[in-house]
Copies of this chain bind each other. A is one copy, B any other.
Amino acid sequence: MSGKRLVRSGTTVDQMVRAIADRIVTGYLRPGEKLDESSLAARFEVSRTPVREALGQLSAIGLVERRPNRGAIVAVVTQEYLASMFESMAELEAICARFSAERMTAAERRSLEIEHQASARLVQVGAEEDYEYFNTEFHSRLYRGAHNTHIHDLTVATRSRLAPFRRAQFMLPGRLAKSWQEHDVIVTAIMRGDAAAAGKAARDHVSIVSEASAVFAADDPKSVKARHGVKVPHLAQSRPPV
């Protein structure tokens, strides 16, 4: 029984959405795990109603899967769907990088470069956790630098859905240096205003991450896709891992 009042902002439903989403994105709740309304309600000391609404919203954005009359589970992502998300991510990042190369203000470019250089030290000392923070920040800058709110939203949403699978690559040796060098290519292209090169570099960067993570998919035949209706993933990203 650790967290009760985790976040005090917003309505109870909002808090539930954040709390549950956070647990899914961070991997604390794993794909396929059952999400019992009563248990969650008891766990967070609220009634079932806000929990229900939260599950409905999470289902709408694709983080959980709801079977009518049969409860909700953390969305199971098939190998195939995971691959499609990584590929989408590569394309979305490529778009952001392209736009960033064309549209970032002088101030944005400066910040990007400065922060990027600052993170170089972390690579040398092998500060994984701290680097991760800079890494998240780096990508966020790219998304914002595109100066396109909707692309930003789509990218952030996709990124957060990939988060549980991305953490897999933490342990790969030499990843930090490699990541930094890839970032460096992107930054250089952006500073030059070379949209095409920035796009390509960003796409390649994600593709490499993808390969390192793909192993962790559950290639369950149960598909999370194949559903009707408007399904619009919209999820702002959660706080960087502390």
Write the residues of chain A forming the contact surface with B, with a CB cutoff of 8 angstroms. Answer: 10-11, 13-14, 17-18, 21, 25, 49, 52-53, 56-63, 68, 80-81, 84-85, 87-88, 91, 95, 144, 147-154, 156-158, 160-161, 225, 229-242
Chain B residues whose C-beta falls within 8 Å of the C-beta of A238 in the assembled complex: 149, 152-153, 236
Residues of the B chain whose Cβ atoms lie less than 8 Å from the Cβ of A148: 84, 87-88
Distance in angstroms from A47 CB to nearest chain B CB is: 12
A242 in complex: contacting residue of B18, B87, B91, B229, CB < 8 Å:
B18
B87 and A21 contacting across the interface, CB-CB below 8 Å: no
Which of chain B's residues has its CB closest to A85's CB? B150
Q: Smallest Cβ distance from A129 to chain B, in angstroms? A: 22
Closest Cβ neighbor of A61 among chain B residues = B232
A80 closest partner in B (C-beta): B149
A8 CB to closest chain B CB (Å) equals 13
Taking CB atoms, residues of chain B closer than 8 Å to A150 are 81, 84-85, 87-88, 158
- Known A53-B56, A84-B149, A148-B84; judge A154-B233 contact (CB<8 A): yes
Report chain B residues within 8 Å CB of A234.
Answer: 60-62, 144, 147, 149, 152, 239, 242
Alpha-carbon gap, A17 to B66, bound state (A): 15
Minimum C-beta distance from A28 to chain B (A): 15
Q: Which B residues touch A59, using CB under 8 A?
A: 57
Q: Specify the chain B residue showing the minimal Cβ separation from A82.
A: B150
Excluding A14-B242, A154-B158, 8 further A-B contacts by CB distance (< 8 Å) are: A17-B60, A17-B242, A25-B230, A61-B231, A63-B230, A81-B149, A160-B230, A236-B239
Is the pair A149, B61 in contact by a Cβ cutoff of 8 Å? Answer: no
User: A84 touches which one: B84, B151, B157, B161 (CB < 8 A)?
Assistant: B151
Contact A236 B241 (CB under 8 A): yes
Complex formed: what's the CA distance from A158 to B88 in Å? 14
User: Are B61 and A236 within 8 A (Cβ)?
Assistant: no
A16 CB, nearest partner CB in chain B, Å: 11
Across the A-B interface, give the 5 residue pairs with the lowest CB-CB distance, nearest first.
A157-B232, A236-B241, A61-B232, A57-B60, A84-B150
How far is B10's CA from A153's CA once the two chains are assembled, in angstroms?
A: 29
Instruction: Report yes or no: A151 in contact with B232, Cβ–Cβ below 8 A.
Output: no
